[in-house]
Chain A
Amino acid sequence: MITNLFYFLSFVAVLSALMVVFSRNPVYSVLYLIITFFAIAGHYVLMQAEFLAVVHVIVYAGAIMVLFLYVIMLLNLNRESEPHKSNILKFAAAICSGLLLVVLVGSLRGTELLKHSEAGEVSSTMGGVKNLGKVLFTDFLFPFEIASVLLLAAMVGVVMLAKAEKKTNL
């Protein structure tokens, strides 16, 4: 049952990831990317990381993709007028990424399997809010605070960058 679900979610994720690359209209690319993110969230649920699945849906499908859609609408890009690379460059791109896949799979195939966890049974509450919150606020407290500074810096930077320059526009 779980294996069949894994195959189904993997198929959806890979197919819609390919459609992100090959669809002409950027709006369709965004929508296919949302399907990919939901499939990956399904994988997280399969791996008993429920908290991460919910956060993934909220942050990626809810915030980042809406940001992409807003920018596409703001720049009025919802048409298929994008210039395309020449055929030889497209062919080279496909060859390069295929070779990368071969290298990744080939380098990972020969590796020895890691020892399974000493505890044996995977505890089903490991990915829950309670356990993750405890780890986040004890072992990873300092990186957590640094992340807040990073988000503040990003917010200030975005406001400075996207602010209309009145002198040049007038």
Chain B
Amino acid sequence: MVPIEYYLWLSATLFSIGVLGVLYRRNAIVIFMCIELMLNAVNLVMVAFSNYLNDPAGQVFVFFIMAVAAAEVAVGLAILVMTFRNTKSTDINMLNRLKW
């Protein structure tokens, strides 16, 4: 059986790659995908601990996170389509006029 620490390192790495993508790219769709990557890193460590402690509650939490992620992606992409209609671009820097 793989030690629990290895899963911790793996999911920390995946989470950091997700943060890197959010900071690195300007395309809003790629930023959404990197947020999905971060959610999956958290899911992975939840399943690892659920398996380690022999407690099915962790896997049920992952199930709920998947439902919330699906709703989040649907609403986010709809907002993206709306902004694309207005600005003709998915560049995240075009949205800085939301400040005013």
Known interface pairs A14-B10, A29-B33, A154-B75; A71-B81 also in contact (CB < 8 Å): yes
Q: Which residues of B contact A140 (CB under 8 A)?
A: 57, 60, 64
- Residues of A in contact with B (beta carbons under 8 Å apart): 2-3, 6, 10, 13-14, 17-18, 20-21, 26, 29-30, 33, 36-37, 40, 43-44, 46-49, 51-52, 55-56, 59-60, 63-64, 67-68, 71-72, 74-75, 77, 82-85, 90, 92-94, 96-98, 100-101, 104-105, 108, 113-114, 116-117, 119, 122-123, 126-127, 131-132, 135-136, 139-140, 143, 147, 150-151, 153-155, 157-158, 161-162
Q: Say yes or no: is B98 at the interface (Cβ < 8 Å to chain A).
A: no
Chain B residues at the A interface, C-beta cutoff of 8 Å:
1-2, 4-10, 12-21, 23-27, 29-30, 32-34, 36-37, 40, 43-44, 47-48, 50-57, 59-60, 62-64, 66-75, 77-82, 84, 90-91, 93
Find chain B residues with CB under 8 A from A90 CB: 24
B78 to chain A, nearest CB (A): 4
